[in-house]
Amino acid sequence: MTLAKRVIPCLDVAGGRVVKGVNFKDLVDAGDPVELAKKYGLEGADELTFLDISASIEERATTLEIVRRTAEQVFIPLTVGGGIRSAENVNELLRAGADKISINTAAIARPDLINEISDRFGNQVLVLSVDARRADTKSGFEVTTHGGRQSSGLDTLAWIEEGIRRGAGEILLNSMDADGTKSGFDIEMLKAVREISSVPVIASGGAGKISDFALAIEAGADAVLAASVFHFGNFTIKDVKKDLEKCGFSIRA
């Protein structure tokens, strides 16, 4: 049986508002996270990803109150990321209504965090978020931290393999080169990750045209994630699903 491909809107939240920029810079306001979450739930989103993009930079935890209010409005799986440093942080977010959590910077600083979360809550709860860009590494891609601002020195494929070995249940692959550019997903990087990943891969970064989503799934993505094209009304989730269905992919109604 072919698993249905998922379409996931992403709420990048800073200062309590949804924001969007190019390569995480020049952020513009895109609305209220609770209102947008409700809207996307009604429009047929398969899941919702909520990333507190300033939490790691400001060295604070994700805003629990906004997560709680968002979770009350949506009846689809909610993934929350940003500023998660411990299994206890995860426990608080799950109690606030998150279904999955996404870690990035803290996992690179202390990889044992992946094991701790997976062992306590199960790998189905854990999404390893990887902000990657082209670089002079073995695979040609490196992992960045702090919203793409800093190089980690890690090779992207080696890090993903380690993350899966430690218990990550899903990979959120965000192309920092493509992020916010609307030039299409990074197909080359996606194919490289698909070859080595034994868990689902979510493609993120670069969606600009409806046809971009089908190309990402052809390259091996199990789910496609986008932000600005949905926030600013370029097209709807239903439009994307209709095109994926037309291209022969199995989708959720």
In tens, the pLDDT along 175-202 reads 998 887 889 999 999 999 999 999 999 9
- The one-letter code for the residue type at 114 is I
pLDDT higher at 94 or 253: 94
One-character DSSP codes across 6-28 = EEEEEEEEETTEEEEEETTEEEE
The pLDDT assigned to 171 comes to 98
| Per-residue pLDDT reduced to its tens digit, 59-74 | 555 688 889 999 998 9
Which amino acids are annotated catalytic?
12, 131
The pLDDT assigned to 181 comes to 80
Q: Which of 11-15, 27-31, 58-62 has the least mean pLDDT?
A: 58-62
Q: Is the pLDDT of residue 207 over 60?
A: yes
Q: Tell which residue, 176, 172, 193, has the closest CA to residue 132.
A: 176
Q: Classify domain 6-246 by CATH number.
A: 3.20.20.70
Rounded to whole angstroms, the Cα distance separating 103 from 130 reads 9
Q: Is the pLDDT of residue 216 over 90?
A: yes
Rounded to whole angstroms, the Cα distance separating 104 from 128 reads 6
Mean pLDDT value across residues 87-99: 96
Per-residue tokens: 79? 């993934």
Rounded to whole angstroms, the Cα distance separating 33 from 63 reads 12
Mean pLDDT value across residues 9-14: 90
Q: Tell which residue, 200, 218, 207, 204, has the closest CA to residue 240.
A: 207
Mean pLDDT value across residues 122-133: 97
Can you say whether residue 25 is alpha, beta or left, with left for phi > 0 and alpha for psi between -120 and 50 degrees?
beta
Rounded to whole angstroms, the Cα distance separating 110 from 252 reads 36
Looking at residue 4, the DSSP 8-state letter turns out to be P
Q: Is the pLDDT of residue 113 over 80?
A: yes
